[in-house]
Amino acid sequence: MNIVLLEPEIPANTGNIGRTCVATNTRLHLIEPMGFKLNEKQIKRAGLDYWKDLDYVVYDSYEDFLKKNNYPKIYMATTKALKPYTHVKYEPDCFIMFGKESAGIPEEILLSNKENCIRIPMVGNIRSLNLGNSVAIILYEALRQNNFEGMKLQGELHTHKWNEV
């Protein structure tokens, strides 16, 4: 899987998303300009000690991202979409893009990808969910649809066994 952040602004969100990407073996694509530097303390704090294990790529622009990834099919997560994120079939190596926290993905990009725009349903006049939460919701749906390929599906107790009564 591939998560794409278009011009992220808040380092803590990107750090949390990076940690989620490490936990799911997902590549993180970061498109400039960003509202922070990758060596900032906040991003490291949110990503904990997982940041060193993160598979990520930084691009100069949206066009640079498109060219270097051979113009991939991209699911665009936006509050402006007409269909829920659960109404698409995610490919194992798909790209899921999220826009910057203050404005989302620009409408001209959405319009040129309208068949791949998806949204997380919400009630009322809520503008949006936190970016890290939105990434986790949609990424885990994509992973579920692909049977959590390569992921550990069972946990273990430290001092007991699950079958003990």
| CA pair distance 103, 101, nearest whole angstrom | 6
Binding residues for S-adenosyl-L-methionine, by number, are 99, 120, 128
Is the distance from CB of 2 to CB of 29 less than 8 angstroms?
Answer: yes
Q: Would strands 2-6 and 117-118 be described as parallel, antiparallel, or unpaired?
A: unpaired
Residue ranges for the binding site?
99, 120, 128
* Exposed e or buried b per residue across 137-157, where buried means at least 16 C-beta atoms within 10 angstroms of its C-beta: ebbebbbeebeeeeeeeeeee
Handedness of CA 138, 139, 140, 145 (dihedral sign): positive
**Distance from C-alpha of 127 to C-alpha of 124, rounded to nearest angstrom:** 9
